[in-house]
Chains A and B, each alone.
Chain A
Amino acid sequence: MSDKGKIFLGLIVFIVAVTYPMWGGVFAKTPAPDVQLPDGKCIESRDYMVANHMNMLDEWRDKFVREGEEIYIASDGTEHAISLTKTCMKSGCHDNKTEFCDKCHTYADVDPYCWDCHVAPDQVAPKGGN
C-alpha cells in the first residue's frame, strides 16, 4: 500500500541505528592499551588483579578508614601496608597514573573516584618548587 515508503524509511533508520557500533568508530580508532608492567610480582596474581583490583582497593579503603587495619595479608602470606599511594603506586611499581591506571580506564570508559581524594605520585608538584 501507500505506506511502503514510510516502512522502508523506518527500516533504514533501524538498521542504521543497530549498526551504529560498526560505523560509529570508523573515524576514531584507539588501539588497545599497551600497559608496561613493572618487574617483580604484584601482591596477588595478574589475572586476579586485572579483574578484581577495584574491589581490593574498595575493601582496603573501608578497612583502613573505618576499621583502622593497616596490614593486608595476601593469599601467599606476605604482608603489605594498606595504602594506594605508598604500596600500589610506590616508586618502581605502578608509580605512573597516566601510564598505568589511565590507559585501561580511558579505553574501557571507567571513571573511578579514587582521585577525588587521592593525589597520584606523578601528579604531585616537584619538590623544591612552590
Chain B
Amino acid sequence: MSFMPSFLISLAAVAVLFGIGYGGAAAGAGAVIGIYVPYAALLVFLGGLVWKVADWANSPVPFRIPTTSGQQKSLDWIRRDPIDSPFTKGEVVLRMALEVLFFRSLLKNTKTQLHHGKPAYATDLWLWLAAIIFHYSMLVVLLRHLRLFLAETPFFVTAIERADGFMQVGVPVFYATSIGILLGLLWLLSRRILNPLVRYISLPNDYFPLLLLLGIAGSGFCLRYIDKTDIVAVKELTVGLASFSPAADAIANINPLFFGHLFLVAILFAYFPFSKLMHLAGVFLSPTRNLANNSRAERHINPWNPKVKMHTYDEYEDDFRDLMKEVGLPVEKE
C-alpha cells in the first residue's frame, strides 16, 4: 500500500476511535467506556501476550544463530569482541542488557546513503536519540500513572514526579517527559514520512501504532495542561477499576476528553499483542541476539534428529568377507 492511503487509513482509524471514546462518554455511555472496555482490553492484552510468547517459546531454536559483528573467540592471541560475538552466558547478558536498555543496535547501520554512486551505511544518531527519548518518557509516564491506580501513592512514584517536574514551571507542574514523549513520537513519525526509503516500506501497521500513541500522549497532555478534569473523580474511577469495585458514580464528573484518552489506551492494550509493538517481548526472545556464539567449542545437536540405523564398514566387511575374498577384493581383516 502506498503512502497516502496507509497514512490516511491509520489517521482516520485513530480519529474515529478517539471519537467513539469521547462521543460515547458525552452520550452517556461512560460506564461502558470507563469500566467494561478497559477490563476487556486488559484481558485481551494479557491473554494475547501469553499466547504469543508461548508460541515463540514453542518454536524450536536448535542451533546457535546469533548475528555477530565482531571477532569470535578462537585462539588466545587473537583479540576477540565479547559483546558483538559473545561466548559466555555473562557476555550474552551484557549484550542483551545493552540492547534492551540502550537500544545498541539502533546505533549500527541505520542510515543508507549514496557515496560516489555506491550505498554506504552509517549511524542515524537522531533515530537512536528519538527512540531513547520516547521509550524512557513512556516508561516514566506509565509509572507516574500509578498515582491514579493506587489509593496510597508509592514513594518511588512521588520521587519520579519530583525528578520529572524538576523545572517547577507552571501549575500543574510541567513534566519533562510530557513533551519528551510527544517530541520522540513526532520525530519517529516524521522520519517515516519524510525519508523516502523508510516511507516506501511503511504500511498502515507502522503508522497506526505511532498515531495511536500520539493520540494517547496528546490527549493526556491536554488533560493535564489544557482542558483539565476533576482528577479526584478520575482517581475514584481508576482506583475502583484496579480494586475490582468500579465507581460508576464518579463518571458523571469526568471530562469526556478523559474517555477519549482512556478508549485509545484500551485500544492500544488490545492491539498490542497482535502488532509490531510486541518487540517489547520480542527483544528478549530474539535468537539472533540472545544466544552465545560458541558453536566451535560446543556441539549443538538438533534434538529432533531421527535415530539413524548405522551400518559401519567393519560390519559390512564381516557380512561379506568370504564373498569379497572369492572375487579378489581387498579386505581389512583376514
Contact = CB atoms under 8 A, between A and B. Distances in A.
B171 A57 contact: yes
A25 B231 contact: no
Query: Interface range on chain A: under 10, 10 to 19, 20 to 34, or 35 or more?
Result: 35 or more
Given A4-B57, A28-B151, A29-B151, A112 B50 contact: no
Interface in B83-127: none
A20 B146 contact: yes
22 contacts: A14-B49, A14-B281, A15-B50, A18-B46, A21-B149, A25-B152, A25-B243, A28-B151, A28-B152, A32-B236, A32-B239, A32-B250, A50-B230, A50-B253, A51-B229, A51-B230, A54-B171, A57-B171, A104-B231, A109-B147, A110-B231, A113-B168
Contact of B146 (A4, A21, A26, A51): A21
Interface string A94-115: 0000000000100111111100
A102 to B, nearest CB: 12
A109 B157 contact: yes
Interface string A9-31: 01100110010111011101111
A1 interface: yes
Interface in B19-67: 46, 49-50, 53, 56-58, 60-62
Given A30-B152, A51-B228, A25 B242 contact: yes
Contact of A7 (B232, B253, B285): B285
A44 B50 CA distance: 51
Contact of A25 (B46, B58, B239, B285): B239
Q: Which 9 A-B pairs have the closest CB atoms?
A: A21-B149, A109-B153, A30-B151, A51-B228, A58-B171, A109-B147, A54-B171, A21-B242, A7-B57
A56 to B, nearest CB: 9
Contact of B170 (A8, A14, A57, A58): A58
A24 B148 CA distance: 12
Interface of B: 46, 49-50, 53, 56-58, 60-62, 146-154, 157-158, 161, 168, 170-172, 228-232, 235-236, 239, 242-244, 247, 250, 253, 255, 281, 284-285, 303
A47 interface: yes
A11 B284 contact: no
B35 to A, nearest CB: 15
B57 A109 contact: no
A83 B230 CA distance: 24
Nearest to B227: A51
Given A30-B152, A54-B172, A1 B53 contact: no
B230 A47 contact: yes
